């Protein structure tokens, strides 16, 4: 198992260090390499995704990413900003299906702003198409004509792009509760109409999975009104970006959510949260999203489901004891920093 670690910016360095500590507890012969991405890569090399990082990906079995971005780089040209490095990484690795599990830990119900009876038992998976749509479509840019500026992006999808991510979502649904909700805006967008038609064609190969469709605005409402109605949500890139961040607040903290991005080759794993430059270096970052992302890596890239389950169970046990990081203090018996939370989880992982 050779893992390329890309800590990135802000708290990315801290949370990836925590995830690696936990992984080493279960996989002592872990082989690690480190690379640059994002703003820190730009500062050192002039590129948010250096060629050296791409070369290191080729020699690794999976990639663990921290986070990218920060106000420091906001005024750079969009091709040089940290986010361009992240989009380039996803495109280069061709990880077209982003898996974002949203699961309620019972001990964290009090951390959510929603009522207990609404969120108790929520366990859903958002499958987001990751390498197409508005974020990658061309042409795009800002042009000036006289005194008027015009900004434009292109939203487009092809049948193969939709088919491949839909198949992953249906495969997941078969292993879960056999329900899949495809989210689009087919009443307005031609790309969404193609999305819906293609998903319905793919569904014919999965007669045991119940397929439903929902407009994205309604889905945003339903995630708050009745999130337990969902099992697997399949959607395009921008919709998935927005809905998964919304769904993260059901759990009480963005810092809790992991993600795994899959394609035809190596997997990319990263917490859903951003770089949080305001708390970087203070030891306050919640490492659980990164630690659970490492668990997803064990499960999906290395076929180590038992080891992944041990990490998930360890997190659950630590939280059930009332141990919290500063981003989720409801029901806390002890509020700890990044390193202490990591140690608590490692101690649980070591128990038989």
Per-residue tokens: 35: 């690379």
SS3 335: strand
Q: Which residues pair with 303 in a beta bridge?
A: none
Residue 134's CB: how many other CB atoms inside 10 A? 16
Half-sphere exposure of 117 (CA within 13 A, CB side): 0
Residue 261 · residue 294 · CB < 8 Å: no
Give the C-alpha separation, 346 to 342, whole Å: 6
Closest of 1, 11, 3 to residue 38, by C-alpha: 11
Per-residue tokens: 129: 């198409």
Show Cβ contacts of residue 332 under 8 Å, excluding neighbours closer than 6 positions: 322, 323, 324
Pairing of strands 179-184, 334-335: unpaired
Which are the catalytic amino acids?
135, 185, 217, 241, 245
Closest of 276, 305, 304 to residue 290, by C-alpha: 276
């Amino acid at each position: 198992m050779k893992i390329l670690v890309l800590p990135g910016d802000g708290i990315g360095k801290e949370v990836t260090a925590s995830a690696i500590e936990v992984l080493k507890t279960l996989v002592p012969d872990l082989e690690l390499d480190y690379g640059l991405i994002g703003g820190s890569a730009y500062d050192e090399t002039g590129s948010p995704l250096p060629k050296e990082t791409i070369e290191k990906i080729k020699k690794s079995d999976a990639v663990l990413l921290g986070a990218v971005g920060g106000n420091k780089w906001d005024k750079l040209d969009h091709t040089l900003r940290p986010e361009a490095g992240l989009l380039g990484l996803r495109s280069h690795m061709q990880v077209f299906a982003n898996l974002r599990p949203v699961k309620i830990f019972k001990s964290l119900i009090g951390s959510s702003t929603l009522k207990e009876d609404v969120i108790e038992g929520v366990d859903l998976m958002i499958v987001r198409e990751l390498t197409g749509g508005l974020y990658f479509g061309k042409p795009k840019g800002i042009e000036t004509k006289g005194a008027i500026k015009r900004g434009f992006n292109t939203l487009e999808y092809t049948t193969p792009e939709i088919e491949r991510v839909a198949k992953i979502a249906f495969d997941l649904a078969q292993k879960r509760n056999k329900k899949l909700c495809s989210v689009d805006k087919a009443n307005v967008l031609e790309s969404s109409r193609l999305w819906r038609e293609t998903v319905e064609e793919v569904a014919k190969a999965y007669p045991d999975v119940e397929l439903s469709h929902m407009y994205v605005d309604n889905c945003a409402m339903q995630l708050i009104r009745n999130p337990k109605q969902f099992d697997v949500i399949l959607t395009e890139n921008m919709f998935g970006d927005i809905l998964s961040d919304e769904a993260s607040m059901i759990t009480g903290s963005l810092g809790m959510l992991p993600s795994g991005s899959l394609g035809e080759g190596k997997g990319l794993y990263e917490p859903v949260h951003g770089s949080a430059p305001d708390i970087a270096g203070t030891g306050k970052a919640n490492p659980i999203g990164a630690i659970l992302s490492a668990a997803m890596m064990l499960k999906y890239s290395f076929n180590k489901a038992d080891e992944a389950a041990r990490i998930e169970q360890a997190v659950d046990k630590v939280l059930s004891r009332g141990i919290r990081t500063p981003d989720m203090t409801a029901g806390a018996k002890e509020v700890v920093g990044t390193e202490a939370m990591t140690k608590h989880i490692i101690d649980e992982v070591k128990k038989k």
